Structure 1
């Protein structure tokens, strides 16, 4: 964002936050409150551990009525058809017959049918959703439906909590998302059908996305500079730690219901967040709650053992009525916001598409699911810490450029090695690419929140998540509908496009956050005035040459031109000094000024 686009109110608010203390005890406590739920947010990946494959066969206990002393192996040999390599078919059985055991052994069974009495799981040591609800054969839910449930939750959560954050505040949105996450994550242990499970997981995914957006907004509006990036990076690192914690529980607990009971019980501790989570003072100012904003800031200063000068605190004034009327339509009507949100949504779409494409490619190598998730979660933590150093020194824009450049190179290498037999090399590149894209998503959360004004920050993040969901769905379609080479080719094209858009976005390093839409209108207004000044300058140069050529009327023309320029310059100075807010008024003044110049 150019320096002239920053509102004086935003600079004053940044000065107040510096007076409160950049990273005192209050901010440290806030960061801890934000990142602790990150460990339990990892439970949104529970589907990877409760839908594990189970060895199963048709239940043929009918034969025990005529041969109660048969061993398990003998029962399977007599009642299940076999493949050429000697293994039993899992979804087919021999049709029961009213014979005695000797006749069955002598003549054997020939007619086959699908499983009639359910399935058995002879070597299963744990109780999972697969063997509890018999989700095998034709009843097995495919991976697309499982990912679709989570994606639908992310999509609706981004929209609902995007509007909820900007309407009711960051504090109610965080409490609502934590309450929803606690109830439905713990309640998953008591579902009695697969449809109930899917409904509960949909609401859990919705709450996870709601908390992510709310926590990013709160951290962005309370913290300053690099501390903001540290908090969001730590939260996302703890999500990876939460996945490892979830994996350990799934290995140690014998029943899938215990996984949600043990993992969901600590979430009830978040009830205490009602008393200790602070509201964003920036959002309070946007809602005309000046006194409440001053009280929150004074409370933060007292915790940090600092004192805000009365003259500085008294500078908090109402921002005007226009900011409270901001809606998602402002992304369309405001030229600057429209450009920013379109480019950011393209980048979000690209990152999501490539991330899910690489994830689906990894599954094609037949690697164990638990090992793959563990390796991915472990890799993401050090990679995020490395990019945190880049973000501290170069800012969010160049951190995004670096991650997208690495992603582009990785996609090109994958395209070159696509037809080779170097599976280990391809696997390594897929893991590195997935980790790099996970960091890119973290940077995008920070960058998007910094680019958008407080009055539309959560809604903008919700629209970005919506674009990200579109990328995930497109990835799923491309992988299953087209040849294996085409999705990687599209990854290369999209990554180059996203890199180009990231170069066009403004830098936010060392810039105060914007709160209202005022500065965007001011930036547009100043650009128009600058253009008019340039037109005046060109006209002045042209008239000067013309006057030099006209020998008879030199003195009269010069005096007339000087008077005209003095009037125009006075009008421009008056427009610049008034600090106008009403865009329609500014437009009318510009039209009058332009008309006067042209007539002159």
Structure 2
């Protein structure tokens, strides 16, 4: 026995000495990878993992749980991007119905010819009209009108094919809605929603947080179709963005805590593909429906199907355990096992009861007092900031290539799905860390290529005699889309990584904290957009630096493949002591 113990010690020494060459990644890996032969309080994780195996790794219960996330994900992307299709630019002509009092049989074209001034090429001027007069119609036709003034009351939209918010609330002729205001309202909602629902998810549970977010989508998402003013519309969008953030955080925590490692990544990646389906669903409805209210009515109608979630959605047994609710956790686990037609051994349930006697009480300040949590939060937050900035910048750059509004949304949505599905194979063969590093490396390379290409935006003007202008434009478009797909995959993988690195007791709160970095990166990207001079070269340079920084930070993280989740901060401390 003594020889065996000495042999184990020598193996551990050899293992750790080989890692000294990379001390940064080793520091985090030590905290998560428990050395063999050393026992600690982390054995509770092994007990829970054994129970989940007894319940069934990916049985009917888990498949149903993953399927329940599909419909809300479709709705999330629908409500997130609906603003792009309800605030369309319109040509507004003054309402000059005063002339109809002289002859009610005038056609719309005749009315415009008589009352709206024209420019040199014969097109009607918007926002201007001839001043009303008390003449008869023959005098107006014979003499014409000369004095012009701005529109006074209402406007006409003769060229409008669809009813949008622009002509609903007459957002024209100096009353145009600032697009930055819409983005600011939405970002503020994401910011506040991340904090509020992160706190709710850890204090009250994943189940009530998901129900509250779905209730917000139902009332303020579906209810957007009935607003009667622009101010109320913006208020509804503000609450909807909070519900979007809340559902993403809460559902991610719930799925992460119910599934084991190999199935967890597949489920999350597959559910993210339904974001793209939601965008395609939005595109189809926006193209077919003639009125923005119908868009929210029919597009938001699937939210009615989530009402049964009140009875069929399960709570996270891991969260119940860390809150000391052992009996409720056992009841949920028994139900899951019965759905999967499995039986949990009694000795495992008894071990679960022994490990869950005390409630773990934590607060957000523990993220800063614990060395591991502080380091992980900072690294993951920086990665969220850089990846979001690069992704949004490339998405904005695609708009500069003359593509139609529908094509700009449809092409990325169609191509992101197979790219994300391919990541499932990569995760299973090379692990989460190197799959994420591969996507970030590809994104960095793409940003560098955009800088070197002539159409990269005032960048180094290299000579490309072989390629024609059209071919160059097509090349830059394809390269930019490739970078966008890579970063979209990086966002999905990073979300999985974030949920797995954080402990159960602070998982929702931690996801809410890193969402602050996500919103900050998005805001910085939009601020860069406002810099008109040298915008392209500046934004793409920053995107390249951001993607490269994210790649470096990714290399500092430990591999989470086949690693059990950590439930409490005490487990983290015990891991540190044992290491």
- The answer as to 2:474 corresponding to 1:424 is yes
- The answer as to 2:41 corresponding to 1:11 is no
- Tell me the equivalent position of 1:483: 534
Describe the SS at the equivalent of 2:57: coil
Q: Is the 8 A contact 2:323 2:358 kept in 1?
A: no
Q: Is the 8 A contact 1:323 1:516 kept in 2?
A: no
Q: Is the 8 A contact 2:78 2:281 kept in 1?
A: no
Deviation at 1:477, TM superposition (A): 0.8
Q: In the TM superposition, what are the counterparts of 1:39-438 in structure 2 within 5 Å?
A: 39-44=74-79, 45-317=81-353, 324-417=360-453, 418=456, 419=458, 421=469, 422-438=472-488
In 2, Cα distance between equivalents of 1:298 and 1:203 = 37
In 2, Cα distance between equivalents of 1:116 and 1:368 = 34
Structure 2 unaligned segments of length 5 or more: list them. Answer: 1-28, 462-468
In 2, Cα distance between equivalents of 1:166 and 1:317 = 21
Larger mean Cα displacement after TM superposition, 286-295 or 118-127: 118-127
Q: 1:505 to 1:321 in 2, by over 3 A?
A: farther
- The answer as to 2:40 corresponding to 1:24 is no
Deviation at 1:526, TM superposition (A): 4.1
- Among candidates 562, 568, 571, match of residue 516 of structure 1: 568
1:196-225 deviation per Cα after TM superposition (whole angstroms, max 9, x unaligned)? 111111111211111111111111000112
Q: 1:195 to 1:464 in 2, by over 3 A?
A: same
Deviation at 1:277, TM superposition (A): 0.8
- Tell me the equivalent position of 1:533: none
- Tell me the equivalent position of 1:579: none
Deviation at 1:384, TM superposition (A): 0.8
- The answer as to 2:44 corresponding to 1:36 is no
In 2, Cα distance between equivalents of 1:355 and 1:398 = 19
Q: Is the 8 A contact 1:153 1:204 kept in 2?
A: yes
TM-score norm. by structure 2 comes to: 0.87
In 2, Cα distance between equivalents of 1:252 and 1:360 = 25
Higher RCO (C-alpha under 8 Å, 6+ residues apart): 2
Deviation at 1:466, TM superposition (A): 0.9
Deviation at 1:54, TM superposition (A): 2.8
Q: In the TM superposition, what are the counterparts of 1:567-586 in structure 2 within 5 Å?
A: none
Q: 1:429 to 1:323 in 2, by over 3 A?
A: farther
1:174-205 deviation per Cα after TM superposition (whole angstroms, max 9, x unaligned)? 11111111111121111111111111111112
TM-score norm. by structure 1 comes to: 0.84
Moved over 6 A (4+): 320-323
Describe the SS at the equivalent of 1:131: helix
Larger mean Cα displacement after TM superposition, 278-287 or 250-259: 250-259
Q: How many residues align?
A: 527
